[in-house]
Amino acid sequence: MSTPTSRLLQLLSLLQSPRVWPAQALAERLAITPRTVRRDIDHLRELGYRITAVRGPAGGYRLDAGSQLPPMLFDDDQAVALVVALQLATAQGIDDDDAARRALATVRQLLPSRLRHRVDSIEVASLPHRSPAPIAPESLVAVTTSIHRHERLRFTYAGDNDRPARTAEPHHVVMSQGRWYLLAWDLDTDAWRTFRLDRLTPRIPAGPRFTPREVPGGDAAAFVAGLFKGSEGEDRWPCSGSVTLAAPAERVAPFADDGTVADLGDGRCRVTAGSWSWIALATWFGRFDAELSEPAPIALADAFGTLSDRYARTADR
C-alpha cells in the first residue's frame, strides 16, 4: 500500500501529462476512491500547484502553468530522457551550447539525490550524419512562432544574392539526418518546398495571417521524407527493385539501409531496395561486392546494362 506522500507524487506525475484526468480514472490508476483523489488534489493546491477542475461530461482535473514554480517532479524515466535531450541539443544543430549546459545544471539541482547520482552517470555524444551550420535559437523561435500563429514568414535565404526577401506560409519544422528544414507553401512558386533553417534568416515583422493548407497525406514528416526521395506525397522511392546476391544475408543486412534482405540459403539472399533513379539503384546494389543475378523489374536490368557499357568504356580509357 502506498503512503500518502508517495501517492501525492504519483498523482502529480499523472497530472503533468497534457490532458484532463477524470476523477474516476485517477482513482483507478492510484487504487483509491474518487473522494481520496479530491482530497489529494486539495493538498497539491496547498503546495502551490495550480490544478483546474474542468466541468462537463469530459471534465476532470488539469495541471495548469502557474506564475510561481512549485517543486518539480521527474520520475526516473523522465529524468533520463531530459538529461539525454539536453546533452544532445547542440549535436542536433542548435547554436546555444552554454544555454543547454546551464539548463542541465538547473535540472540537476532540482532532482533528489537518488536521481541526481543516476543522471550524473549519463554521458552521451552524437555524431550527426552531416555537419550542419548551427541554427541560432532566435531563428528557430521566430520560425516556429510564425507556424503557431499562422503568420506568413518573411525571410532571406543564403544564395539568393540580390533577391528580395522571400515570403512563404510556414507549416512544419522537420529534422532529417542532422539538418533542420522548414516545410512551407512557397508563394513565389505556388508549391510545397523545404528550406534549410541554417540558411534562413527571418525578417521582422512577420506577414499577415493565413489559413493553413492540408499537407498531402496528412503527415508532414512522411511528406518531407518523400520529397527527399523524389516521391511527392508519400514516403517511398520512385524506383524500387530487387536482385539476388551471392552473399549471406547476415553479411548484407547491416549495410542494407532501408532495404529488406531475405535469406535464400546456400550463402545467397534476395535484396529489395529503392532509389531516386534506376541507375542510382543499380549502382547501390553494386556496393556489396558480390555477384548479382535475377534483377527485377526490367528497368533495373536495363540500368545494369547501361552501367556495364559505361564502366567498360571507362576501363578501356
- Asked whether the beta carbons of 61 and 69 are under 8 A apart, the reply is no
Q: Are residues 161 and 212 in the same domain?
A: yes
Q: Are residues 17 and 37 in the same domain?
A: yes
Q: Are residues 251 and 213 in the same domain?
A: no
Cell numbers for 214 = 492540408
Q: Are residues 165 and 101 in the same domain?
A: no
Count of domains observed in the chain: 4
Asked, for residue 19, whether it belongs to a domain, the answer is yes
Q: Are residues 225 and 166 in the same domain?
A: yes
% of the chain surpassing 90 pLDDT: 45
Pick from 207, 229, 251: which residue ends a domain? 229
Mean pLDDT across the stretch 35-48? 88
d(CA 7, CA 40) in angstroms, rounded, equals 8
Residue 131: pLDDT over 70: no
Mean pLDDT across the stretch 181-200? 93
Residue 115: pLDDT over 80: no
Nearest to 188, CA basis, from 226, 155, 151, 149: 155
Pick from 229, 257, 282: which residue ends a domain? 229
N residues, the chain: 317
d(CA 19, CA 297) in angstroms, rounded, equals 50
Longest CA–CA span in the chain (Å) reads 87
10 Å Cβ neighbour count for 106? 11
The mean of the pLDDT values for the chain is 85
Which residue type, as a one-letter code, is found at position 171?
Answer: H
Asked, for residue 142, whether it belongs to a domain, the answer is no
Pick from 169, 203, 229: which residue ends a domain? 229
d(CA 49, CA 42) in angstroms, rounded, equals 9
Q: Are residues 114 and 95 in the same domain?
A: yes
Q: Are residues 222 and 259 in the same domain?
A: no
Give the model's confidence band at 119: pLDDT under 50 very low, under 70 low, under 90 confident, else very high: confident
Residue 256: pLDDT over 80: yes
Asked, for residue 281, whether it belongs to a domain, the answer is yes
d(CA 255, CA 108) in angstroms, rounded, equals 39
Q: Are residues 33 and 105 in the same domain?
A: no
Asked, for residue 263, whether it belongs to a domain, the answer is yes
Residue 283: pLDDT over 90: yes
Q: Are residues 201 and 255 in the same domain?
A: no
Asked, for residue 100, whether it belongs to a domain, the answer is yes
Q: In this predicted structure, what is the pLDDT of residue 67?
A: 40
Residue 184: pLDDT over 70: yes
Which residue type, as a one-letter code, is found at position 104?
Answer: L
Give the model's confidence band at 259: pLDDT under 50 very low, under 70 low, under 90 confident, else very high: very high
Q: Are residues 299 and 249 in the same domain?
A: yes
Q: In this predicted structure, what is the pLDDT of residue 291?
A: 95
Cβ-Cβ contacts under 8 Å for 279 (sequence gap 6 or more): 303, 306, 307
Residue 146: pLDDT over 80: yes
Cβ-Cβ contacts under 8 Å for 267 (sequence gap 6 or more): 246, 247, 248
Q: In this predicted structure, what is the pLDDT of residue 65?
A: 65
Asked, for residue 133, whether it belongs to a domain, the answer is no
- The backbone torsions φ and ψ at residue 237, rounded to the nearest 5 degrees and listed phi first, read -80, 140
- Choice between 24 and 94, residue whose per-residue pLDDT is larger: 24
Mean pLDDT across the stretch 118-132? 67
Q: Which of 62-66, 236-240, 257-261 has the lowest mean pLDDT?
A: 62-66
* Residue that has been written with the C-alpha cell 557499357 in this structure: 309
Which domain range does residue 54 map to? 4-63
Residue 132: pLDDT over 70: no
Residue 42: pLDDT over 60: yes
